[in-house]
Amino acid sequence: MMKPLRIEIDTEDDGRWLAEVVEIPGAIAYGATKRDAAAKAEALAFRILAERLEHGEINPFNEQDLPFKAE
C-alpha cells in the first residue's frame, strides 16, 4: 500500500487558500476554499508525475525514483 501524499495548506492575506503537495516540487495551487486548493494541488501533482513518466524521468518500478514510499 502506498503512503498518501502530504498536502500543506495555508491562507494568504487576501483570503485565498494555498496548497502544496510536499513530495512533488511545483505542485502548488491556489483556491477559493481549503478543499478547492487541496484538490487543485493534488490534480497538479498527478499531472507532474504523468509528465515525468511520459518523458522517462522516473521509473515506476524503481521506488527510489518515486516521490512517495510504498508501505
Establish if 46 belongs to a structural domain.
yes
Per-residue confidence band for 1, with pLDDT thresholds at 50, 70 and 90: very low
Full residue range of the structural domain in which residue 52 is found: 7-65
Establish if 35 belongs to a structural domain.
yes
What's the pLDDT tens digit per position in 21-45?
Answer: 998 999 999 999 999 999 999 999 9
Per-residue confidence band for 65, with pLDDT thresholds at 50, 70 and 90: low
Residue 7: which residues within 8 A CB-CB, separation 6 or more?
19, 20, 21, 22, 38, 41, 42
Establish if 2 belongs to a structural domain.
no
Establish if 40 belongs to a structural domain.
yes
Establish if 22 belongs to a structural domain.
yes
Per-residue confidence band for 53, with pLDDT thresholds at 50, 70 and 90: confident
Establish if 1 belongs to a structural domain.
no
Establish if 57 belongs to a structural domain.
yes
> Is this prediction's pTM over 0.75?
yes
Tally of domains within the chain: 1
